[in-house]
Amino acid sequence: MKTSNYDRSMMERYGITCEQESLYYYKSFQYGNLQDAVNFAILEGDRKGKHFTNKHKSAAPVLQSGKRE
């Protein structure tokens, strides 16, 4: 949702802040944390006989916050 100029001025006037939250989707599941979505996808793949590999081994590990180091 885009914040209008009026909304921004009211936020500034009253000291109101806004933060956006990232949501991650795997099939019909929604996660607030990327690593949780990845873990479930891997777990489900293992149960179905699919073994996912990490093609991006050089990438920074994902922290619990869902952000990369």
Q: Please indicate, yes or no, whether the overall pTM of this predicted structure exceeds 0.75.
A: no
- Domain residue spans of the chain: 22-69
51/69 Cα distance (integer angstroms): 25
What was the pLDDT predicted at 55?
Answer: 57
Note the pLDDT of residue 58. 47
Distance between start and end Cα atoms, the chain: 28
Q: Using one digit for the tens of pLDDT, what is the confidence trace for 8-60?
A: 999 999 999 999 899 999 999 999 999 999 999 999 887 777 766 655 554 55
Return the pLDDT at 67. 56
Q: Would you state the pLDDT for residue 65?
A: 59
